[in-house]
Structure 1
Amino acid sequence: MKILGLTGSIGMGKSAVTAMFRRAGVPVFDADAAVHVLQGPGGVLLPAIEARFPGTTGPAGVDRAKLGAAVFGKPDELKALERIVHPAVGRMRARWLRRHRSQPVVVLDIPLLFEKKGWKAVDAVVVVSAPAWMQRKRVLARSGMTPGKFRRILALQTPDAEKRRRADYVITTGCLKYETEAQVRRLVACLRAKKGR
């Protein structure tokens, strides 16, 4: 099995590329989706999160705004949350990989692949990238986003140029969607051919 780590900065089009991998028949483990399950209604992490961050959970699961306010800009609090969340996501990922071990290629969608050293657990890194002006336009079009908030998010992420430099493969989204999808399909075909499938 070839394990690809898929990442990209905010607004680069990673979600769209994830969907393209799925359409190409490649199983994708979505770390963000796993966190939503773990922190959603009845999620297994709710008791631990509530104990460490009182008032941040309820019947609907984690109140993301309250939890975000409790950890944003507070490195020690963020680390405490990560100590609760990351091991649980790791266990889900390990179970998922066992279920898909017969596949020639799988994708781990990990937003903070470089920031949290997730690149060590994959065979190759795929970075989704677009021109900076396009990234900015996409992000500022989001509800509730401001230029200041965008700058703060970017400051927490490995710069796009560094991600591209460290990538094994770069998928560009600063083009027409069918062109991006063609890049994904070529990569999948190439990797499957190397695996003899």
Structure 2
Amino acid sequence: MTRPVILGLTGSIGMGKSTVAQMFSEAGVPVFDADAEVHKLQGPGGPLLPVIEAAFPGTTGPQGVDRPMLGNLVFGDPAALARLEAIVHPAVAKVRDLFMLEHAGKPLVVFDVPLLFEKGGWEKVDAVVVVSAPFEVQRARVLARPGMTPEKFAHVLGLQVPDSEKRARADFVIDTGTPLPVTRDAVHKVIESVRTRSI
């Protein structure tokens, strides 16, 4: 049985990946949002709360995981981060497998994964779409976010594969430094390209 072509969608902070993911969804392409699934798994009543609480006492409550508190515990501690990832990643993989079963008859699906290159997810997709924009546009978008500072922005960039490298490794690059209709047209061109060629 053939399975859908899997497009990996990624991009650095502030590049407009969520907007592009929404455009794929509006075009009828099922999108698996890895971050959204993590939020569900760790949110109020989420199935991972007991395991996370056991591994990191005091980091969960009625509202789910206290993300800032948990972030502070694993930030700069590779062993703690590895413990957390060993809890979260298999759970996300299970949800992703269910997503693939649900959409088995579709020609194309998208995996929206922020750290696709950083965590090796690019090996599990058929082609990679990188969402990109000029640095000045990216910086302005990110610094407009509540609580964001130039220092935090620089730190996040330091944890991510540089945009230039992502673009070099991509099968498709979608520029979001353009008006929305132009970006939407680029999304449709990617869909058409994937459907009319074997990757």
Band the TM-score falls in, shorter-chain normalisation: over 0.9
Instruction: Return the letter of the residue paired with 2:74.
Output: V
Letter in 1 for 2:91: A
Indicate the SS of the match to 1:107: strand
Q: Distance in 1 between matches of 2:32 and 2:137?
A: 27
Q: Distance in 2 between matches of 1:153 and 1:194?
A: 36
Shift of 1:187: 1.2
5+ residue gaps, structure 1: none
Q: Give the count of matched residue pairs.
A: 195
1:184 corresponds to: 187
Distance 2:138 2:61 in 1: 34
Aligned residue type for 1:23: E
Shift of 1:194: 3.5
Rounded Cα–Cα distance in structure 1 between residues aligned with 2:6 and 2:196: 15
Q: Deviations over 1:19-76 (max 9, x none)?
A: 0001111000000011011001111110111111111100111111111111122222
Matched, 1:117 2:120: yes
- 2:97 counterpart (94, 101, 112): 94
Which amino acid in structure 2 is aligned with residue 47 of structure 1? P
The aligned counterpart of 1:103 is: 106
SS at match of 1:188: helix
The equivalent residue for 1:129 is 132
Letter paired with 1:81: L
Q: What are the ranges of 5 or more consecutive residues in structure 2 without an aligned counterpart?
A: none
Percent identity between the two aligned chains: 62
Q: Which residue of structure 2 aligns with residue 9 of structure 1?
A: 12
Aligned partner of residue 170 in structure 1, secondary structure: strand
Q: Which residue of 1 aligns with 2:143?
A: 140
Measure the CA separation in 1 of the matches of 2:31 and 2:123. 18
Q: Among 42, 45, 51, which residue is 1:42 paired with?
A: 45
Counterpart code for 2:165: E
Residue deviations 1:135-185 (CA, integer Å, cap 9, x gap): 111101100001111111111100000100100000110111110000001
Decide which of 69, 72, 78 is 2:75's aligned counterpart. 72
Question: Using the alignment, how far apart are the partners of 2:106 and 2:25 within structure 1?
Answer: 13
Separation (CA, whole Å) in 1 of partners of 2:102 and 2:58: 36
